[in-house]
Amino acid sequence: MAETGDSPLPPTPPAHTPLARAERFVWLTARVLEQRLFAHHFRGGDADPVETALDAYGNDDGGYGHALEPDLRGPVSQPLHTAHALRVLDAIGRCDGRRVERLCRYLTSVSTPDGALPAIHPSQRDYPAAPFVPVVDDPPSALLSTGPVVGLLHRNEVWHAWLFRATDFCWQTVESLEKSHPYEIEAAVAFLDSAPDRSRAEAAADRLGRLVREHRLAALDPDDLAAYPVSPGYAPGEHHFPHDYARTPHSLARAWFTDDEMARSLDFLRAEQQEDGGWPIRWRQWAPAPALEARPVVTIEALLTLRAYGRPIT
């Protein structure tokens, strides 16, 4: 392998390892952004090429579009695209500076009257979108889009006027949830894991964990999935597992599950790697391109989760 600067790249893992199989899948199928992210996370690649690849999805309004989130097609900026961009910037340690100031101005411009974010801004109406993300003229605030954005900004110690009301919305919504669905719970965890008031976050997470178990929103036994309901509107078999909520051992959601439950979940995650080296998507597939573009994203997430828990991938 060629060297980059003075630092040689890590040795190529054996071809039969989960990482090597996934790397081949990424090179066969992924967008440039995911190729660069894979190299950054697992091959010692620099952050600059990741940032350059992300720039291709940016818009003049400070937001992101161009199908960065694969289920929303077209060029227009959307909150879900912007949340995706923030995850990338957080992963490479670049969630700061003028880029984030512009991003916060975009968030302000598309906020609802209570200062939070809609799931889908009406500007998506002229472009294709997944049928499970309907476009409406006056969308309400959504924890689904607001929670991860607020959490990532707090995690990176970004302070902007937009954050005050959006944070209040997240607290009010999370603490008043009586029933929910897995993606909304994951958004709540993304907020709570980085919320500045740690004691309040721990109390809210404890209550959410009881809700998840009471309503069987986590499939605790992968060998008996029929025992767990699928949320309304989800695809058949679209279950969520402990590792989906607690993506690292440091997440507040980790306390929701026993060691045995988490071990079974991680065993299941590792076994989900497909023959082509990638991990599957479990949500509803509605067009070929979104499904193809999403699989490298979930493949990288799977590898990061396994590595975070100390599971061997090389």
Q: How far apart are CA 70 and CA 3, in angstroms?
A: 33
In this prediction, residue 1 carries a pLDDT of 45
Dig out the tokens for 79 from the structure: 């909150």
In this prediction, residue 16 carries a pLDDT of 87
Does residue 152 have a pLDDT over 70? yes
| pLDDT range class, residue 2, cuts 50, 70, 90 | very low
Q: How far apart are CA 114 and CA 78, in angstroms?
A: 18
Mean model confidence pLDDT for the chain: 95
pLDDT (average), residues 288-292: 96
Sorted by sequence, the CB contacts under 8 Å of residue 61 that are 6+ apart come out as 77, 105, 106, 109
29-70 per-position pLDDT tens digit: 999 999 999 999 999 999 999 999 999 999 999 999 999 999
Does residue 215 have a pLDDT over 50? yes
Q: How far apart are the first and last CA of the chain?
A: 18
pLDDT (average), residues 259-282: 98
Tell me the β-bridge partners of 64: 58
| pLDDT range class, residue 6, cuts 50, 70, 90 | low
State the amino acid at position 47 in one-letter form: A
Sorted by sequence, the CB contacts under 8 Å of residue 264 that are 6+ apart come out as 220, 221, 222
Q: Which CATH class is domain 32-308?
A: mainly alpha
63-95 per-position pLDDT tens digit: 999 999 999 999 999 999 999 999 999 999 999
97-150 per-position pLDDT tens digit: 899 999 999 999 999 999 999 999 999 999 999 999 999 999 999 999 999 999
Sorted by sequence, the CB contacts under 8 Å of residue 71 that are 6+ apart come out as 129, 130, 132, 133, 286, 290, 294
Q: How far apart are CA 132 and CA 94, in angstroms?
A: 32
Does residue 10 have a pLDDT over 80? no
pLDDT (average), residues 195-206: 98
Does residue 3 have a pLDDT over 60? no
